[in-house]
Structure 1
Amino acid sequence: MTLFPTYNRYDLSVSKADGTIVEDIDGKKYLDFATGIGVCNLGHRHPAVQQSVEEQLNNYWHVSNLYKQPIQEEVANLIVENSPGDYVFFCNSGAEANEAAIKLARKVTGKEKIITFRQSFHGRTFATMAATGQEKVQEGFGPMLESFAYATFNQINSVKDLMDERTAAVMLEVVQGEGGVFPAEESFMTQLAELCKANNVLLVIDEIQTGIGRTGKKFGFDHYGIEPDIFTIAKGLGNGLPVGAMIAKKEYVAAFGPGAHGSTFGGNPLAMAAAKAVLTTVFEENFLQTAVERSTYLAEQLEEKIKPITFVKEIRQKGLMVGIECTDKVTRLVPELLGKGVLVLNAGESVIRLLPPLTVSKDEIDQAIGYIKEVLQSQAVTL
């Protein structure tokens, strides 16, 4: 083994994948309710994405950002036309997108303090690791970058207590994914937006996991009737190809002029081809309506078949983003479910996280719920 052991890998060697199905090297098939940690929102090898990338492969792969690439403008226009943002910066990942957002917020305001939230997750670079409100992510790396302060999610007074004249921005996820699938409360988001506006503090929303249709709307903040000053996307944007983006209002464009920021591979044409197909597909009204119908069906099945199990403490859901909180640790249950043929994630020690593709069928939901019910019931029996 020549790879750094930075991942606790499960006993699965992937051979191929298509739609909601992943197949291992022995030919065993699995229902994928993890989608590469919320990446393959359209499922694996979606035809429109594959066709778009193949067409771009036959044109060119890379020329650098020193030259105009019309496909970048096309993708940026799709984002801007479907959001409150005005300008887009392309990069390669969610962490890079959040890094760009932090830099822009500090440069625009001339201030350095950024308020984030406990149990948040924003990435693993030094800036985004410091923004992340989880000690386990920060342990062992010495002093964190200064000027990050951590409020309590869904508690507006905790934000007020931290906000002062040095505050540049408040940065948050509208659903804390890695933190346990905790959706923001509507009253909290409304008050937070008003608080930021009243104090000339930028509102930065991390849509890395909630964006591109995951919650049943184009972006997670669409549920709350608010407009961020800056927001970030990645994961589902490329449906498996590495891409991220930071989007901001036009008032802030001058702060990111030539030389202020950059990325060698940001806006790579292959990633842009994937993103163009993804956005064209997901932002179509009928597609999102079908995704909402699937999330409603999933909610009904969870309510009927999973919630009554005594091992289950609470179920939290926003669209096709689900957290099943249990009364004990679930880390041992993820490989057990894998053995039965369904891929899921954990979010912390006691939460099973489901992130099925937005294209998931009712039959596939039924199959996955059946496996999950079987495993959780076996835990309830042993308690």
Structure 2
Amino acid sequence: MEFSQYDTDALLYITNRPPLVFVEGQGMWLTDHKGKRYLDYLQGWAVNCLGHAPQCLQDALTSQAKKLINPSPAFYNEPMVTLASGLTKHSCFDRVFFANSGAEANESAIKLSRKWGQKNPNAKGEARHEIITFGHSFHGRTLATMSASGKAGWDKIFAPQVPGFHKAELNDIASVEKLINDRTVAVMLEPVQGEGGVIPASREFMTALRALTQKHGILMIVDEVQTGMGRCGELFAYQLSGVEPDIMTLGKGIGGGVPLSAMLCRKEVACFEPGDQGGTYNGNPLMTAVGNAVLQELIKPGFMEGVREMGEYLSGELLKLSERFGMAGERGEGLLRALKLGRPIGAQIVELARDLEPVGLLLNSPRPDLLRFMPALNVTKEEIDQMIGMLAGVVERIDAQG
């Protein structure tokens, strides 16, 4: 089928899309409408943690679809309860609220912290509501999560912003402390700033931040929409630092490709009352059955060791590539990594890699001088080697063109 036969004009324009339509995916590979295959290092922006169309997700969807899809969130359902129990068992949290997207999970965390701030007012008896976030952070596309984000220019797109968010600098504990006042209720951060350029919070900073929030009696919220569910080499990235936050949000990988997210909290913080929070689809059995399938794969013996091994291997190969072409190195945690190009050729690489023949390569450039890699967590050495070879060829071509 030719691309011109698709009525793409019926879609609202929100981004520039290349003239291709994906029709099939398997593991690390996608196939377009003409039958061309692409090695996929986006995986839906770290969504497909087990790759495209893994058998366990197919089984979970077909099996659950035959039983029960949505009885209403006013009732318990078996997959919802099972997944909540699994997540609390393998984390430091006690309670779970399910939603459909990372932005919704982060909205829930913001709402819960402000509710907690009402129940735990300052010395003047005033509700605490201000949240400290960080420059270059990304927390979602709702009005509140855009206001919480530190993405450049977002303060003006849909102005006025939702008030109550103040920006500190990641890995600078003094910048956090100077923003704390008697209205502060929480500090919210990504353990690795993905959209901001794959910038990890250091182990020392995470430890200092937990101590600082406890000192001042405020909450620590970790946005693990991108870093959670095994992406960084542990089931949750906060575990890399040995800290125990008060609230955590999950998205992307928890559904393995379907719309599912979660907000987790300690029982001491679980202060929502009936009517405070909800959602038509929250905790629906079809999506939470998939979440259970994903979690069961991630906790299998040896799986996380494999993620760490492949993360180290990818890191090493990116460093070799960097040295070969005089780039600026690489950074990241586990299988969320970035190649620092040292020059603004990211968009050019993305386009040339996608258009390679006979096989294309899908890459992401969140900044002009950087590439971000988010492969499936079960990626193989052979697939990493193939990507590195293809990427090297693209860079050679750019260099040859001057």
TM-score (norm 2): 0.92
Cα deviation, residue 10, structure 1: 2.7
Pick aligned residue for 1:229 from 229, 242, 246: 246
One-letter amino acid matched to 2:350: V
Tell me what 1:370 maps to.
389
What CA distance in whole angstroms lies between the structure 2 residues aligned with 1:83 and 1:286?
18
Cα deviation, residue 382, structure 1: 4.6
SS in 1 for 2:138: coil
Tell me what 1:18 maps to.
26
- Is 2:296 the counterpart of 1:280? yes
Cα deviation, residue 371, structure 1: 1.1
- Is 2:368 the counterpart of 1:349? yes
- Is 2:337 the counterpart of 1:322? yes
What CA distance in whole angstroms lies between the structure 2 residues aligned with 1:153 and 1:256?
30
What CA distance in whole angstroms lies between the structure 1 residues aligned with 2:217 and 2:204?
20
Asked if the contact 1:32–1:343 (Cα under 8 Å) also holds between the matched residues in 2, the reply is yes
SS in 2 for 1:105: helix
- Is 2:274 the counterpart of 1:258? yes
What CA distance in whole angstroms lies between the structure 2 residues aligned with 1:104 and 1:297?
40
Pick aligned residue for 2:63 from 47, 55, 72: 55
Cα deviation, residue 286, structure 1: 0.9
- Is 2:214 the counterpart of 1:197? yes
The CA deviation string for residues 205-248 of structure 1, in whole angstroms up to 9 with x for no partner, is: 00000000001110111110101100000100011110110000
Cα deviation, residue 114, structure 1: 0.3
- Is 2:90 the counterpart of 1:82? yes
SS in 2 for 1:317: strand
Deviates further, 7-16 or 243-252: 7-16
One-letter amino acid matched to 1:158: S
Asked if the contact 2:322–2:329 (Cα under 8 Å) also holds between the matched residues in 1, the reply is no
Asked if the contact 1:124–1:137 (Cα under 8 Å) also holds between the matched residues in 2, the reply is no
Asked if the contact 1:10–1:335 (Cα under 8 Å) also holds between the matched residues in 2, the reply is no
- Is 2:159 the counterpart of 1:146? no
What CA distance in whole angstroms lies between the structure 2 residues aligned with 1:380 and 1:139?
37
Match runs of 1:46-195 below 5 Å: 46-110=54-118, 111-195=128-212
Asked if the contact 1:175–1:182 (Cα under 8 Å) also holds between the matched residues in 2, the reply is yes
Asked if the contact 2:322–2:341 (Cα under 8 Å) also holds between the matched residues in 1, the reply is no
Asked if the contact 1:207–1:220 (Cα under 8 Å) also holds between the matched residues in 2, the reply is yes
Q: How many matched pairs?
A: 381
SS in 2 for 1:366: helix
What CA distance in whole angstroms lies between the structure 1 residues aligned with 2:134 and 2:88?
27
Cα deviation, residue 16, structure 1: 0.2
SS in 1 for 2:81: helix
Cα deviation, residue 324, structure 1: 1.1
Tell me what 1:28 maps to.
36
What CA distance in whole angstroms lies between the structure 1 residues aligned with 2:147 and 2:87?
28
Asked if the contact 1:112–1:166 (Cα under 8 Å) also holds between the matched residues in 2, the reply is yes
The CA deviation string for residues 278-324 of structure 1, in whole angstroms up to 9 with x for no partner, is: 001112231111121111221221122334312x2231121011111
Cα deviation, residue 381, structure 1: 4.5
- Is 2:369 the counterpart of 1:361? no
Deviates further, 332-341 or 121-130: 332-341
Tell me what 1:244 maps to.
261
Deviates further, 353-362 or 301-310: 301-310
Asked if the contact 1:181–1:347 (Cα under 8 Å) also holds between the matched residues in 2, the reply is no
Unaligned segments of structure 2, at least 5 residues:
1-8, 119-127
What CA distance in whole angstroms lies between the structure 2 residues aligned with 1:112 and 1:8?
38
What CA distance in whole angstroms lies between the structure 2 residues aligned with 1:182 and 1:380?
27
One-letter amino acid matched to 2:24: K
Percent sequence identity over aligned pairs? 38
What CA distance in whole angstroms lies between the structure 2 residues aligned with 1:259 and 1:219?
30
Unaligned segments of structure 1, at least 5 residues:
none
Asked if the contact 1:53–1:274 (Cα under 8 Å) also holds between the matched residues in 2, the reply is yes
Cα deviation, residue 108, structure 1: 0.4
SS in 2 for 1:63: coil
Tell me what 1:338 maps to.
354
